[in-house]
Chain A
Amino acid sequence: MGNVISCFLPGTEFDRAAQGLLGAAARLASACQVPHVALAACVSDTMTEALERHADRVVCIRSGLLSNDHPESCLAAFHAACASLDAQTVLLGQDARSQEMTPRLGYRLGGCSIGDAQSIDMTDGGLSVRRSVYGGKAVAVVRASRTPAVVWIRARAFEPAAERSDSVQTEILDVEISDGIAATQVTGRQEESRTGVRLEDAPVIVSGGRGLGGPEPFEELKKLAGVMKAEVAASRAACDAGWVPPGLQVGQTGKKVAPELYLAIAISGASQHLMGITDARVIAAINTDAEAPIFRHCQFGLVDDWKNVVGPLTERIASLLQ
């Protein structure tokens, strides 16, 4: 039957995404009655200890050439490890490197690859993946016809795994890598300057759109976000207009977020935008147009002009939260 393997690439930390990936792998393994092996390389001791509390086996790849600076060697190492671990299903997270690696790993393992899974199930015919297509307007179910299936999942949207009562001992796997080391090499990294948490990890997001009409209203949204302990985001229209930096963009051409609460202010809800918020638990909106598509995705909404609402709403929430 093989193993369900969850992959944690160099530098991965025990954040919400890692927890979701462990949860998805643990549940799939349990449904298939096979072991869940957490496979990691170049991660911190804290991360290793967390994996030891959540997986049936933890395997750390060791290789002199392996580091986060050599994407090709990283792929070669995970390929060698997955091949030696009898992989039935290989799950990766949503981070850029995992997305980059998924198709290549599937190809090298002689299986198949699927991206952007919103749910995964084992059926008689093989692994079945549900995913959003056509800009979120439709949902497709695709089945892996070849094993191993290598799949990257929207990790933050998956429930975390329960902790084990005991802890397993990490095994070290020595891997020889010979090819492709110098084909590409990372020569520098810049961290985006930001004050709060990353949008992808934010539990609460306040987002503004075209209807705000300019950059100044975002200052008001920041105050509201402040009292809600939320991060500020924006639609493509607001970013394209230069009102806020492109890094705040949520949607198909921006970030895909998974907050507990997404408050959309003066955002009509083009499918491009909705594509980025399908994993939000609760969506609420303030918009002058009761027919705006965003309301079709909201749990609750307020039909009003943001200009009349944001100031008093900020005060009201501040006093309620005191």
Chain B
Amino acid sequence: MKILVCLKQIPDPEVAPRDFRLDENNLIADPASAGLVTNIFCENALETALQLKEAAGGEITVLTFGPAEAEDVLRKALAVRADHAVHVINPGLLHPGSSGAACVLSAAIRKLGSFDLLMFGREAGDWGEGQTAGLVAEHLGLPFVAFVDSLQTTESGLHIVGQTDSGREELTAAGPVVVSITNSDANVPRIPKTRDIMMAHRRDITTWSLEDIDLTEDLVREAAGSVEVTELFIPEKDTTCEFITGDSADERIDAFARRIVDVIGSI
């Protein structure tokens, strides 16, 4: 089975709000205010792919679109034993967005050949729209299933289990399919072995420019231009917490209880 996993590098979502800053000219997070990490849902996708490969055989290609630093997410993927890594270099587009990313990723996928399964994270921890996987499915004319948390190969094709609003849904896909992976107990990312981390640094990464995949900056900009970021700001906190006071614990609990009952009564 040929599996493709798309990975995205994002500013570390765990950075504390007090350290988080924006680059207001470019309408992005200030690159100096947060370290860069692999998006967690992408790591869940890679973990799911690794388990599927262990169960059913096959090979895993990881693909990213990003600046030179994004090579790091590919090295980390190679360290947990992804088979091939492909890096399409972002020449400096600040807001490729889902549409621009989908345009680039699908062009790279076409060049890479056919895959049985194309995996994405459910959404990214930076802009978090969860649109890219569905858009890639459209570019490539493939079916799509979102919020998937487990996959198995069967004789009739892929058995896919996804999370729904009220529980879980099982699907089958006869041919190639695009899925977006959500987190579950079963796909917590593994920790690479030290030796594999060292080995990963020696592995080859295929590096492509936009021209290598028959695109140009203008074409990607045009795709990305379907939406435009017009503002980005850190919201002012308009709530000031009223700390419940009182001379004794009983008084404070009574006052707190009354506030709660007031809110419940207003529903």
Contact = CB atoms under 8 A, between A and B. Distances in A.
A41 B29 CA distance: 41
Given A187-B172, A312-B253, A103 B135 contact: yes
B72 interface: no
A114 B168 contact: no
A38 interface: no
Interface of B: 11, 13-14, 17, 20, 22, 27, 29, 40-41, 98-99, 102, 123, 125-135, 137-139, 142-147, 159-160, 162-175, 177, 183-185, 225-235, 237, 239, 241-244, 249-250, 252-254, 256-261, 263-264, 266-267
Given A100-B134, A184-B171, A253 B40 contact: yes
A186 B170 contact: yes
A200 interface: yes
B174 A103 contact: no
A204 B11 contact: no
A115 B138 CA distance: 16
A302 B244 contact: yes
A57 B86 CA distance: 49
A191 interface: yes
A187 B241 contact: no
B21 to A, nearest CB: 10
Contacts of A100: 134, 144-147
A313 interface: yes
A309 B251 CA distance: 11
Nearest to A101: B134
Contacts of B263: 260-261, 282, 284
Most buried by B among A95, A261, A293: A261
Contact of B130 (A99, A143, A286, A321): A99
A143 B226 CA distance: 9
Interface in A167-223: 180, 182-192, 198, 200, 203-204
B257 A138 contact: no
27 contacts: A71-B144, A71-B171, A72-B143, A99-B146, A101-B134, A103-B132, A107-B138, A108-B138, A114-B131, A115-B130, A134-B29, A134-B127, A140-B232, A142-B227, A187-B170, A189-B168, A203-B267, A253-B41, A253-B183, A271-B13, A290-B243, A295-B241, A302-B243, A313-B257, A313-B260, A317-B261, A320-B261
Q: Which label, helix, strand, loop or mixed, suits the secondary structure of the A interface?
A: mixed
B230 A142 contact: yes
A297 interface: yes
B135 to A, nearest CB: 5
B130 A111 contact: no
Contacts of A140: 27, 127, 229, 231-232
Nearest to A281: B263
Given A115-B131, A272-B13, A103 B234 contact: no
